Homo-oligomer: A and B are copies of this chain.
Amino acid sequence: MTHPGDPHSIQPSGCITTRDFDIRTDFPMYRVYRGGKSIGSRRDLLDVWSDDYVGFLIGCSFSFEAALTAAGLPPRHQKTNSMVAMYRTNLPLLPAGIFTGATCIVSMRPYRQDRIQAVRDVTRPYLATHGEPVAWGWEAVIALGIKDIQCPDFGDPPDLEDGEVPVFWACGVTPQMAVESAGDKIEDLVFAHEPGHMLVTDYTAEDLQKLGRS
């Protein structure tokens, strides 16, 4: 989290150690919301930032992909050099103040059914970056309200091989759904990352595994 109005420092300090950090410029791409609607993408926020903004970072499931690969479970989208598929679901988020009625976004990586326990075990310790899967299998596609696995709401269409099933993790795009559902209750602009365009921090995967849920 940043101090209000200060785009240069993040707490906890181990997250970003370089002094020239700027939350307004260091993401690969930003998405801008007004009244709960995306009004476009930007490469930086320099001319829209004001000193009453606060930034917060949440974890990304990309952080445990090295651990999956090390365990012989490389995510498919890395092999195909495509963006991980992300889907809107019907999983309700807990209401909090003006944020009501929103649902969870998930990312998906395909695995064989007999690898799912291993996939769960490898990703479980990464509580700060979504941890173990929230659902898996074709029955989960129906339960989550995903109409067509080949039509993700964000990212690229996935490549499932014979015998593989979808495995879903919570996704850092979810707060943007909360912003959408709050609509006009948020008077000013909200800045988020463009899905798939995350900030790279100084935390190593090992740091994140020690961090617990943050």
Interface membership of A5, Cβ < 8 A: no
Chain B residues with Cβ below 8 Å from A97 are 120, 124
Q: Which of A57-65, A88-96, A107-115, A154-162 contacts B (4 or more CB under 8 A)?
A: A88-96
Chain B minimum-CB-distance residue to A134: B94
Name the B residues within 8 Å of A133 (CB-CB).
Answer: 95
Q: How large is the interface on A (under 10, 10 to 19, 20 to 34, 35 or more residues)?
A: 10 to 19
Q: Is A132 an interface residue (CB 8 A)?
A: yes
Q: How far is the CB of A214 from chain B (nearest CB, A)?
A: 13
Q: Kindly identify which residue among B95, B96, B134 contacts A95, using a CB–CB cutoff of 8 Å.
A: B134
* CB of A143 within 8 Å of the partner chain: yes
Q: How far is the CA of A96 from the CA of B94 in the complex (A)?
A: 19
* B94 and A92 within 8 A (CB): no
Whether, in the assembled complex, A135 has its beta carbon less than 8 Å from a beta carbon of chain B, the answer is yes
Q: Copies per complex?
A: 2
- Do B95 and A132 touch across chains, with their CB atoms under 8 A apart? yes
Residue of B nearest to A93 (CB): B134
Q: Is the CB of A135 within 8 A of B92?
A: yes
Given the complex, which residues of B lie within 8 Å of A135, measured CB to CB? 92, 95
| Closest Cβ–Cβ distance, residue A60 to chain B (whole Å) | 17
Which residues of chain B are within 8 angstroms of A132 by Cβ–Cβ distance?
95-96
* A72-110 CB contacts (< 8 Å) to partner B: 91-92, 94-97
The 3 closest A-B pairs by CB, nearest first: A94-B134, A95-B132, A95-B134
Extra contacts, 11 of them, besides A91-B92, A95-B134, A96-B124 (Cβ < 8 A), are A92-B134, A92-B135, A92-B143, A94-B134, A95-B120, A95-B132, A95-B133, A95-B135, A96-B132, A97-B120, A97-B124
- Return 14 A-B CB contacts under 8 Å, by A number: A91-B92, A92-B134, A92-B135, A92-B143, A94-B134, A95-B120, A95-B132, A95-B133, A95-B134, A95-B135, A96-B124, A96-B132, A97-B120, A97-B124
